[in-house]
Amino acid sequence: MPLSEKKRSILLAPFAISPILQRFAWPGIAGLLIFGIGLWRQVDWLMVIGAILAAPVIWADAVLVLVYIPYLLFDSIRRSLNRNK
């Protein structure tokens, strides 16, 4: 059963930022590791470097959590209200 264009765009929305995740995944993971080591050993310059390296990955995750999940929630509520009418 082929998907409609709207459903396909909803399902593919989390992957719209995938070029960012593809390009910066390894530096982001290394940045999180460096940040954790800096936090554990309380070395400020390691925390700064880790935060800089991890910023794109943190941003991409924030977009998924703060934009996409509420969108799915409100879209499902809207569809259920339209179905009940």
Cβ atoms of residues 10 and 75 within 8 Å: yes
What is the reported pTM? 0.59
Between 52 and 58, the more confident residue is 52
* pLDDT for 60: 79
Segment 15-50, tens digit of pLDDT: 666 676 777 778 888 999 999 999 999 999 999 999
Phi, psi of 42 (to 5 degrees): 55, 50
Integer Cα distance of 70 and 4 in angstroms: 22
Angstrom CA distances, 32 to 35, 36, 56, 60, 75, stand at 5, 6, 11, 14, 33
